[in-house]
Amino acid sequence: MRITATAEFMLEPAFDPNKDAGSSRDAIGLGQAAGTGLNTRHGTILTLEDISVSFDGFKALNNLNLYIGVGELRCIIGPNGAGKTTMMDVITGKTRPSEGQAWFGETLDLQQMSEVQIAQSGIGRKFQKPTVFEALSVFENLELAQKTDKSVWASLRARLTGEQRDRIAEVLETIRLSTSARRPAGLLSHGQKQFLEIGMLLVQDPQLLLLDEPVAGMTDAETEFTAELFKSLAGKHSLMVVEHDMGFVGSIADHVTVLHQGSVLAQGSLAQVQADERVIEVYLGR
């Protein structure tokens, strides 16, 4: 059975619901911030315990333990090849771990679910390489991603309601692509594709967002804007952001996890982990 999270792994605000009540975004209704159907009684939306993944004997993840609290915005950093993308693959069901447990909320065992079920249960993901539906227009990309019945029959008869149109228009505004709504997504710039993919996550309205290097290829202004956007999302959603851009990480995260050779090397505030001897060694010794 599943082991209860210990304080060592848990980050304070998420771990102790009453500590910062009313004062920080982490206090926003633990367990209530999560949508219906997801049991997050203990304030943890994602639990990874002793996860190991090996590719032909090479351990990409090695006894990884990680807990994400409800409404938290967590940054994951680490050198190239540390296993960050592989961890997201495990969470979304793309890669199956050889050992360990992965839980979404208290009750959903991610290892028993298919990729589609995981996505439907409320985990959204942005890929490291921006992936959008290139032949479809920006608007249609958002239309497909939008939270709705996604079965074959529903798709055959689907008509957008006014409410859904408004929501898409709103997100288009947010990601600043309103004027490109009718353009094929394949014609967008790299940065615009990043924004479109983020927009697709927004309309999907997942409880947990996994973002793999979201600001790669963005200008400084765009990066700053993205930081604001993510901060506004935290609280209502839980976010896990993988990023190499330390400036960006510093501007959004209270808590940072450093991954190295497939396991957690250090956790804490950005200043704390940057002062950590082992972290310095890993980054300089690269």
Partner 1 sequence: MNQPLLLTATQKAGPAVTATVGGLVLLVLLALPLLSLLPADSPFQVSAYTLTLTGKILCYAIVALALDLVWGYAGLLSLGHGLFFALGGYAMGMYLMRQASGDELPAFMTFLSWTELPWYWTGTEHFWWAMCLVVLAPGLLALVFGFFAFRSRIKGVYFSIMTQALTFAGMLLFFRNETGFGGNNGFTNFRSILGFGITEPGTRAALFFATVMLLVASLFLGWRLARSKFGRVLTALRDAENRLMFCGYDPRGFKLFVWVLSAVLCGLAGALYVPQVGIINPGEMSPTNSIEAAVWVALGGRGTLIGPLLGAGVVNGMKSWFTVAFPEYWLFFLGALFIVVTLYLPKGVIGLLKKRGEQ
Ligand X SMILES: Nc1ncnc2c1ncn2[C@@H]1O[C@H](COP(=O)(O)OP(=O)(O)OP(=O)(O)O)[C@@H](O)[C@H]1O
Residues in touch with ligand X (CB under 6 A): 55, 60, 78, 80-86, 128
Q: Does 127 bind partner 1 (CB under 8 A)?
A: yes
Residue 230: C-alpha distances to residues 163, 180, 204 (Å): 24, 22, 15
> Binder to partner 1 among 94, 176, 236, 278 (CB under 8 A)?
94
85 binds Mg ion (CB under 5 A): yes
Residue 80 interacting entry, from partner 1, Mg ion, ligand X, none, C-beta within 5 to 8 Å by type: ligand X
143 binds partner 1 (CB under 8 A): yes
Q: Which does 83 bind (CB under 5 to 8 A by kind): partner 1, Mg ion, ligand X, none?
A: ligand X
Burial class (CB in 10 A: 0-12, 13-18, 19+), 250: middle
Binding to partner 1 (CB under 8 A) within 199-228 occurs at 200, 204
- Residue indicated by tokens 């911030």: 33
Instruction: Identify the residue whose tokens are 């999302």.
Output: 233
Closer to Mg ion by CB, 60 or 185: give it. Answer: 60
Closest approach, Cβ 128 to ligand X, in A, equals 6
- The full DSSP string for 168-196 is HHHHHHHTT-GGGTTSBGGGS-HHHHHHH
Beta carbons of 91 and 102 less than 8 angstroms apart: yes
Angle at which helix 220-233 crosses helix 190-204, to 10 degrees, equals 10
Nearest distance from C-beta of residue 83 to Mg ion, angstroms:
8
Q: Which is nearer to partner 1, 150 or 244 (CB)?
A: 150
Is 115 one of the binding residues for partner 1 (CB under 8 A)? yes
